[in-house]
Structure 1
């Protein structure tokens, strides 16, 4: 089953209010409204695209070890995924799909990392819950997501919904701003150029990890020794 098929199956059960979710229709309507407004805002079109230079960053992994994009790019191309947090079931399925694809990225000499605004303890939960073997980095206050053009402000009505659902993002991310990144995937060449970009303001839609492989293969052929 493809990643999107798994996401669609989960979404169908969730939006139907099936146990254990039991979500009322009003919650679904609010989520749909927020997604539609984010799509209509054109935010995704303003994010960095293929051909742009990727921002250089250094972020900590769950153990507090700094991970530098510049250092990773010395080894080969970089596969980069932005996600919302371990509280997001769509993101967890996305991370699991990336983990399944990791051996092929490894074979091509590419590094794989994922970035979210969540704190280190929550990143450690991401690693445990999804049995991950690649770095999960904490983007404090979403600064790297903002540099890529991915960070957006949640509307007030969605903040109210999250609060009612006990989804306390300020505590989860140690950031009072109520911002999140749009889910995104990038392949970055060793010279820092973005070779592949996929940004979707609809968090229930994710590209297949395999979609990046042709770009990663091409980048691998140009690897700098």
Structure 2
């Protein structure tokens, strides 16, 4: 049976229902529901869009540009919130297990992207011994262009501050903004071949539709070469 990311995330929520105080659980559920209710899909990145050049910061040091990512064909970007996010510590390793091997076979890079500053973001790669690349989207610059940012609502801010520093201190960005979980497949021509945005961060893209989108992008490129 194929491993399901959304089943794993549902188990996380069920554990919270068993162990969290009702008021804390309500803040979490209400924030996620608000993001679903207020989502404006027309503003999200979508297939057919063409991306302008961008640069991301690799957690090991150095940068990675759009041209470098797609120099040999399609690339896959997975946006997540930050290294300490419990759901992200389920989702990113899931993609390592279920998506990275298939993409490696196809010669397609997989890049996990967060606004968290590189020296803090590196923790998720080290903790899970990831072979996929992890990079920082400085100041949420790319996520903002993709239309996938959200900001903590007031109840979530107060709940976070009651437990410690705000999210801006944790990520190093100094803001309450985070990307909604998003997967984007980008072709060699910088055009978006697949895009899926998940306003509820406990609902995320499964691996197989991403693999299918990559295969379609590779086939389209083969046809272009054949008819060139």
How many residue pairs align between the two structures?
220
Structure 2 partner of 1:24: 21
Give CA deviations for 1:128-151 in whole Å, capped at 9, x if unaligned.
112211211111221111011111
User: 1:180-191 counterparts in 2 under 5 A?
Assistant: 180-191=178-189
* 8 Å Cα contact 2:59-2:122 kept in structure 1: yes
Alignment-derived partner of residue 47 in structure 1: 44
Which position in structure 2 is the counterpart of 1:9? 11
- Structure 1 residues 180-223: Cα deviation after superposition (integer angstroms, max 9, x where no partner): 11000011111111111110110001121121111111222315
How far apart are residue 102 of structure 1 and its match?
0.8
> By how many angstroms is 1:167 displaced?
5.3
Q: Deviations over 1:105-135 (max 9, x none)?
A: 0111211101101111222101011221121
Moved more, 102-111 or 42-51: 42-51
Instruction: Write the mapping of 1:53-132 to structure 2, written as runs, cut at 5 A.
Output: 53-100=50-97, 101-132=99-130
Change (3 A) 1:60 1:47: same
Detail structure 1 runs of 4+ shifted over 4 Å in the superposition.
Answer: none
- The alpha-carbon deviation at position 24 of structure 1 amounts to 0.7
Structure 1 unaligned blocks of 5 or more = 18-22
Aligned residue in 2 for 1:200: 198
Q: TM-score w.r.t. structure 1 length?
A: 0.92
Deviations 1:3-62 (A, max 9, x none): 111111121011221xxxxx2110111111111111111244421111111242111111
1:60-106 per-position Cα deviation (integer Å, ceiling 9, x unaligned)? 11122101121111111010100001221111111111111212101
Q: Distance in 1 between matches of 2:83 and 2:91?
A: 11
Is the CA contact 2:57–2:138 (under 8 Å) kept in the aligned structure 1? no
SS of 2:112's partner is strand
Partner Cα distance (1:15, 1:143) in 2: 35
CA distance in 1, matches of 2:177, 2:41: 15
SS at match of 2:93: helix
TM (normalized to structure 2)? 0.91
